Amino acid sequence: MKFFIDTANLDQIREANDLGILDGVTTNPSLMAKEGIKGQESILKHYVDICNIVEGDVSAEVIATDFEGIVREGEALAALHPQIVVKVPMIKDGVKAIKYFSNKGIKTNCTLVFSPGQAILAAKAGATYVSPFLGRLDDISTDSLTLIHQIVNIYSIHGFETQVLAASIRHAMHIVACAEAGADVVTCPLEPILSLLKHPLTDIGLEKFLADAKKFM
């Protein structure tokens, strides 16, 4: 399973990358806005900066919602750097654009996916990744993990090559459950990744080992 970090914050991307376990980055317009990045030139430069930190795929989201606009924006984003994956929303013109990009060999991430039907359309259109959002489903009292199991199962039955990129991850147990469900990728903020490290017995055990080590040093 691949680990992507879901942020546009360069320091956090560097920190996750330094751990040696990072396979890529996902961003969205809200995450870019959070970093205070303004203006087309700065936005494009920021994507390139991210690509220069990590080795894997970097999702950059289009803002347009019409086919021509999505294609225009997506092609400009894809031309920025070979690691760029064009992130396209699950809407009618988005599906058309994913098919267009797929025919041209441009990688895509179909975002804002909340149902198995949407995931089937994304795969049929040839999306490289499909992004089902767990946390936002949990927020409306819907069992998000069932969705991951359904998509993984459907893709496996029909041999779809689209990778399941579990998104909107809020905590470490989401990551573990997605791994068990067979998600190909999880994307999450730095905190849930770091919280995978934590266990009180690890801390207690280490404290004891270090105390005992002093006895023979």
Active-site annotation, residues: 87
Given the complex with ligand E4P, which of 28 and 163 has the nearer CB atom? 28
Q: How far apart are CA 64 and CA 112, in angstroms?
A: 15
Nearest to 168 by CA among 148, 152, 151, 194: 148
Q: Is 28 in the site for ligand E4P (CB under 6 A)?
A: yes
Residues 146-185 within binding reach of ligand E4P (CB under 6 A): 167-168
Size of site (CB under 6 A) for ligand E4P = 11
Given the complex with ligand E4P, which of 69 and 135 has the nearer CB atom? 135
**Contact code string over 180-209 relative to ligand E4P, x by CB under 6 A:** -------x----------------------
Q: How far apart are CA 91 and CA 108, in angstroms?
A: 14
Q: Is 128 in the site for ligand E4P (CB under 6 A)?
A: no
Given the complex with ligand E4P, which of 32 and 157 has the nearer CB atom? 32
Answer for which of 131, 144, 162, 163 binds ligand E4P (CB under 6 A) is 131
Yes or no: say if 181 and 150 are a contact pair by the CB < 8 Å rule.
Answer: no
CA distances to 173, 192, 205 from 201, rounded to whole Å, are 18, 19, 6
Count CA atoms within 13 Å of residue 31 on its CB side: 20
Residues 48-77 within binding reach of ligand E4P (CB under 6 A): none
Q: Is 108 in the site for ligand E4P (CB under 6 A)?
A: no
Q: Is 135 in the site for ligand E4P (CB under 6 A)?
A: yes
Three-state SS at 61 = strand
DSSP 157-208: HHT---EEEEBS--SHHHHHHHHHHT-SEEEE-HHHHHHTT--HHHHHHHHH
Q: Which stretch in 89-97, 128-136, 144-152, 202-210 sits in contact with ligand E4P by CB under 6 A?
A: 128-136
Binding site for ligand E4P (CB under 6 A): 6, 26, 28, 111, 131, 133, 135-136, 167-168, 187
